[in-house]
Amino acid sequence: MIQMELFDTKARSEKQHIVNVASVPQRSPFRYAGGKIWLIPRIRQWLLKYGGSDKELIEPFTGGGIVSLTAAFEDLVPQVIMVEKDEGVAAVWRIILEGNAKWLADSIENFNLTRENARKAIEAADQSLESLAFATIIKNRVNRGGILADGASFIKQGENGKGITSRWYPKTLQKRILAIAKMNHKINFIQGDGFEIIEQNFHRKNAIYFIDPPYIKAGRRLYRYSMVNHEALFELAGKLQGNFLMSYENTQEARDLASRYKFAMKSVSMKNTHHAQKKELLIARDLAWLSE
């Protein structure tokens, strides 16, 4: 009887901590596979503990960037470094943060989205940095699940039979892009290898790191650059002078690595936009703040 009561209490507590992504401010222009909108309440908790006016947040695998954007918008740290290797995703961040955000916002707002027009925009991606950024946004909005990896296909039915237009919100995207551009004085974007940026900054005690690499199992299907040496990443994390928080697919491999490097780990629950519940793994030197 006592064991059942303990189980029920734990289940209720876990249910209370499941975050519905619809309850978190949507600041990114991307629909990102593996995005961390659901983790934002815990990110705030982590940054309130380890951030502050003298810290710089480094996100070496930026993707959709919701963690960096939240930190910048909510003044949880004064400066952010966003790093992204994927050329298309990087093009979007560069256009927004390096002075051409209004062009991108207006291009999206004025675009007549049809399957034919989407294909033409995507085929023109190699013409310039601007065309690559625009094509990436189009792909992200018309591909199933927002997947940008090569071979991803267009949405077929979509919501209420709207097909590829079911995730096309030009006014909303325009507002988000222009809002991010206003934060460019707080965000330093680097197109490059996240490993290299970590190695260049590992000695800094005033740098903190949110490390969210491609999924171990599903990464190949979701991302263009999905191959990561996870063993080397854990080894590098162990050398960091500043605090870090890692987010991982809840796999045995990730658990084994965390144990090997004597990191704390905890599985946390999320609820995605389809209301399906799943778990991911948070890894750090210390996770006591999660229960504070």
> How do residues 87-133 score in pLDDT, each as one tens digit?
999 999 999 999 999 999 999 999 999 999 999 999 999 999 999 99
Handedness of CA 169, 249, 228, 206 (dihedral sign): positive
Output helix, strand, coil percentages for the chain, rounded to the nearest 5.
50, 15, 35
> How do residues 197-235 score in pLDDT, each as one tens digit?
999 999 999 999 999 998 655 545 555 655 789 999 999
Q: In whole angstroms, give the CA distance from residue 79 to residue 152.
A: 35
Q: Nearest 5 degrees, angle CA 190-CA 263-CA 253?
A: 80
pLDDT > 70: what percent of the chain? Answer: 79
The pLDDT, as a whole number, for residue 36 is: 86
Q: What is the average pLDDT across 70-89? A: 96
Q: In whole angstroms, give the CA distance from residue 40 to residue 70.
A: 8
| Residue type (1 letter), 15 | K
Inform me whether the pLDDT recorded for 15 exceeds 50: no
Higher local confidence (pLDDT), 175 or 5 = 175
Cα Rg of the chain (Å, integer): 19
Q: What is the average pLDDT across 127-149? A: 89
The token duo for 154 is 């267009």
The token duo for 146 is 């927002």
Q: What is the average pLDDT across 44-57? A: 95
Classify residue 251 by burial, with Cβ atoms within 10 Å: 0-12, 13-18, 19+: middle
Instruction: Among 12-16, 237-241, 267-271, 285-289, name the one with the lowest average pLDDT.
Output: 12-16
> Tokens 């919501």 label which residue?
159
pLDDT-derived band at 25, boundaries 50, 70, 90: confident
The pLDDT, as a whole number, for residue 34 is: 66
Q: Nearest 5 degrees, angle CA 197-CA 201-CA 206?
A: 135
Q: In the chain, what are the domains?
A: 1-85+194-292 (3.40.50.150), 88-191 (1.10.1020)
> How do residues 266-283 score in pLDDT, each as one tens digit?
999 865 545 556 788 999
The pLDDT, as a whole number, for residue 147 is: 72
Whole-angstrom distance between the N-terminal and C-terminal Cα of the chain? Answer: 29
HSE-CB at 100 with a 13 A cutoff on CA atoms is 15
Tell me how far CA of residue 104 lies from CA of 210, 230, 275, 288, in angstroms.
28, 35, 32, 42
Inform me whether the pLDDT recorded for 151 exceeds 90: no
The pLDDT, as a whole number, for residue 149 is: 65
